[in-house]
């Protein structure tokens, strides 16, 4: 790593670097969430799937030279209730017509606590506001205290929890 960090919208040609970053960073997420790596889609996501996500969403990445060291994907939906998994969640989401959904948020282990995550989540929020979103949504293991504290400090509230993937997976929301 050479210290010349560049934050930009990811290109299709960045997909392999982003895929590698996600697989590496999600090992820590799995350990801190007490879940098997096989329970997390990001660990087995194909290169084609990463390319499609870059093509169809706002995928922001931080690079140190050619190495991806941070990333976040923000998608926009006009049907927020699609993220419902209970009547409680559906009631909450029914008050919104447009939502941003944050996924594949990762920062390489050696660069955590240096402001990259905050920079990425802020970029996602700005993109969400610019695109008329009323709320930002994301999922996170409720066991992962580091990540839930990070999201909480940025205004995200736990809306509901479900266990369909074999671990307590919370839906967090931030009203914009």
Nearest to 36 by CA among 141, 118, 121: 141
pTM: 0.94
Paired with 67 in beta bridges are 64
User: Between β-strands 99-107 and 135-141, what pairing exists: parallel, antiparallel or unpaired?
Assistant: parallel
Looking at residue 114, its pLDDT comes to 86
The answer to whether residue 39 scores a pLDDT higher than 90 is no
- Top pLDDT among 170 and 38 is at 170
Q: Is the pLDDT of residue 3 over 70?
A: no
Sheet with 169-175, strands from edge to edge, namely: 5-9, 58-64, 67-77, 99-107, 135-141, 169-175, 157-162
Judge whether 21 and 33 are in contact, CB under 8 Å: no
Cα separation of 73 and 103, whole Å? 5
Q: What percent of the chain has pLDDT over 90?
A: 85
Domains of the chain, by residue range, sit at 5-175
DSSP string, 74-94: EEEES-GGGG-SSHHHHHHHT
Inform me whether the pLDDT recorded for 1 exceeds 50: no
Check residue 40 and give its pLDDT: 86
- CA 69, 74, 79: angle at the middle one, nearest 5? 160
The strand ranges marked E within the chain are 5-9, 58-64, 67-77, 99-107, 135-141, 157-162, 169-175
The predicted-structure confidence for 56-91, as pLDDT tens digits, reads as follows 999 999 999 989 999 999 999 999 998 988 999 999
- pLDDT, tens digit, for every residue of 40-59? 888 889 999 999 999 999 99
Look at residue 138 and give its three-state secondary structure. Answer: strand
CATH code: domain 5-175 is: 3.40.630.30
């Amino acid at each position: 790593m050479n210290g010349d960090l560049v934050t930009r919208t990811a290109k299709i040609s960045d997909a392999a670097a982003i895929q590698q970053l996600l697989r590496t960073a999600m090992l820590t997420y799995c350990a801190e969430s007490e879940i098997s790596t096989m329970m997390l889609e990001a660990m087995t996501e194909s290169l084609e799937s990463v390319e499609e996500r870059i093509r169809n969403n706002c995928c922001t990445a931080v690079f140190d030279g050619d190495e991806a060291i941070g990333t976040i994907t923000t998608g926009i939906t006009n049907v927020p209730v699609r993220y419902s998994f209970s009547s409680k969640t559906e009631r909450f989401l029914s008050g919104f017509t447009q939502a941003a959904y944050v996924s594949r948020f990762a920062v390489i282990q050696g660069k955590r606590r240096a402001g990259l995550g905050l920079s990425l989540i802020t970029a996602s929020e700005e993109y969400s506001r610019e695109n008329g979103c009323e709320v930002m949504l994301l999922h996170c293991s409720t066991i992962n205290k580091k990540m839930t504290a990070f999201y909480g400090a940025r205004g995200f509230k736990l809306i509901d929890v479900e266990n369909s993937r074999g671990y307590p997976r919370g839906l967090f929301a931030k009203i914009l």
